[in-house]
Amino acid sequence: MDWKREWKWLALILGLFLMCFYLPVGVSRFEHAVIESLALVKWYAREHVLLCLVPAFFIAGAVGVFVSQASVMKYLGAGANKVLAYGVASVSGAILAVCSCTILPLFAGIYRMGAGLGPACAFLYSGPAINILAIILTARVLGLQLGVARAVGAVLFSIVIGLLMQLIFRKEKEEQQRAQVVMPESENGRSLLVTAIYFAMMVGVLVFANWGKPQAASDNIWITIYAWKWRLTSFFAIGLGFVLVRWLGAVWWKVVAVGVCVVSMAVGFPENPHVAFIAGFLGISVITASQKGEMQSWFSASWTFAKQILPLLLFGVLAAGFLLGRPDGEGVIPPEWIQKAVGGNSIGANLFASVAGAFMYFATLTEIPILQGLIGAGMGKGPALALLLAGPALSLPNMLVIRSVLGTKKTVVFVALVMAMASVSGILFGFVCGD
């Protein structure tokens, strides 16, 4: 008998027993935190899994199938032109209005296809951080100073973090460059324009299906886009159907059948557009899974990302909800503790804001009303910026998935860089612009 192994099992069983024995059932804060965690994961499943993650999984799968590895390495690889690679990665969030979890399948896709660690990490940070609508709302709701600081800080952060990750793990860069030397150019007979249109259609569906309602009630372009979000989503969905038939070889009558089903759902459930949206992606799943060749490979790659990422995300959301609650609720950690810890512009307040923000889960745009309440409760300008720079780009669910892609060491370094830079930025901003 292997006693060393058996002692580990005994310790595990004993730990679980003690946890169950002393489970604080009957304590109101504990029970409320459990309800909050379940409520948060329910909201996440309804609002983000369907509208955000499902399209993101398909886009990530498409990267692996329809974009050659040589092309990814040429533009984002370790040996690619740094200005081009980091320039593209650092402004990607201006197009992708996604949260810290939705960016993960896309990040995993380009990284596994050969993107350099630096550009991939720049993309990972910038995707949820550089959101044009969020930055504009930050300026309007929280003040011009915070809005400008968030925009400038997010762009610079993505580049600096990417460069530092590449420098710290430079041995990986050397290995990737050697691999790129022998990487043959693959040809799939499809022009760059066709591939760009194909991805533009999918990104359009992802962006407009998740277009959030602006807080300001003024008559502007953002409210107009929000009012037309499902029409715009439909336009890109029709474009995607055309691309599938015209250039990717999908059976036309199957695509038409899916379109008829989606229209029927939209007419039958006009107040719940999610039904039609789900029908559309179920239809695409059936088409891609049943057709051999690239289409089936696309579905398989997307399904692989879903299996790897979704369970970790849901577990992370449960944990985040239990610890911190929903934006309008309380977890096991009293919100008063957080409010007291981020008051003023001290080093400790900035560090706490960046760490707390990194572990909290922020859906797109939800960080603004949360910060509005914290600022009203006495939060300093420096910690507010620190939370804005660390919070939307990271979360506990996000970290769990990053670890499965990069490994523990790189994940710890990436998270530490984000927290440290957010803290320093908050301290400087609080010193210059604080009351």
Question: How far, in Å, are 134, 210, 213, 226, 364 from residue 52 at the CA level?
Answer: 17, 7, 16, 16, 11
Max Cα distance, the chain (Å):
74
Query: Which residue, 27, 140, 24, 122, is CA-closest to 82?
Result: 122
Give the start-to-end residue ranges of the domains of the chain: 28-180+192-250+291-433
pLDDT for 185-244, tens place per residue? 544 557 778 888 998 999 899 888 888 777 655 557 778 888 899 999 999 999 999 999
What is the value of pTM for the model shown?
0.74
Are the beta carbons of 276 and 53 closer than 8 angstroms?
Answer: no
Question: How far, in Å, are 189, 206, 238 from residue 198 at the CA level?
Answer: 14, 13, 11
- Alpha-carbon distance of 54 to 21, in angstroms, equals 40
- Alpha-carbon distance of 410 to 399, in angstroms, equals 11
**Which of the residue ranges 27-31, 122-126, 361-365 would you say has the lowest mean pLDDT?**
361-365
Backbone phi, then psi, for 343, in 5-degree steps?
-75, 145
* Average pLDDT of the residues in 112-140: 79
Are the beta carbons of 267 and 259 closer than 8 angstroms?
Answer: no
Residue 59, class by beta-carbon neighbours within 10 Å (0-12 exposed, 13-18 middle, 19+ buried)? buried
Question: How far, in Å, are 103, 105, 133, 163, 344 from residue 210 at the CA level?
Answer: 13, 16, 12, 31, 35
> Structure tokens of 42?
């329910």
In this structure, the number of other CB atoms found within 10 A of the CB of residue 361 comes to 27
The pLDDT assigned to 182 comes to 47
pLDDT for 264-310, tens place per residue? 999 999 888 889 999 999 999 999 998 888 899 999 988 988 887 78
Query: Which residue, 80, 97, 383, 380, is CA-closest to 222?
Result: 97
**Cα-atom radius of gyration of the chain, to the nearest Å?**
23
* Average pLDDT of the residues in 22-37: 86
Q: Which helix (H) or strand (E) holds 323?
A: helix 294-324
User: At 166, is the secondary structure helix, strand, or coil?
Assistant: helix
